[in-house]
């Protein structure tokens, strides 16, 4: 808890000096870094490569027409792959840890927090 408060103070000080970010190693967010690595390996890596190939061969200049064509041709395919990757990830089992955190599937932890003596902390940003 004290560590979070220190981070919050540093962030606020940085914001007052016009910088809204902090440079440094991201050693405390290994879970999200792991997720980004999995997402890139299982899904988005090939799309990134394809888009770079289009650009490198001169078939994509980045103008509005090119962007719209890529969106029209690829958006549904990309969204379907992202949805499939998210579903597979949500269904994997989180193993028991020493830190007394709940162990189950992410989708169950999200949809049924009361099973782990927790609550739904989602708050609407619209009011």
Average pLDDT of the chain?
80
Residue closest to 29 by CA, chosen among 61, 4, 57, 55: 4
CB contact at 8 A, 115 and 108: yes
pLDDT for residue 91 is more than 80: yes
pLDDT in tens, 42-83: 899 999 999 999 999 999 999 999 999 999 999 999 999 999
pTM summary value: 0.61
């Amino acid at each position: 808890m004290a560590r979070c408060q220190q981070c919050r103070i540093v962030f606020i000080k940085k914001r007052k000096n016009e910088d809204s970010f902090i440079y440094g190693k991201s050693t405390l967010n290994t879970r999200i870094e792991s997720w980004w690595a999995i997402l890139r390996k299982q899904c988005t890596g090939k799309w990134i490569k394809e888009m770079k190939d289009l650009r490198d061969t001169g078939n994509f200049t980045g103008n509005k027409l090119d962007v719209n064509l890529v969106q029209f041709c690829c958006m549904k395919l990309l969204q379907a792959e992202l949805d499939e990757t998210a579903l597979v990830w949500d269904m994997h089992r989180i193993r028991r840890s020493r830190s007394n955190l709940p162990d189950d599937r992410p989708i169950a932890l999200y949809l049924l927090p009361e099973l782990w003596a927790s609550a739904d902390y989602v708050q609407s940003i619209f009011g």
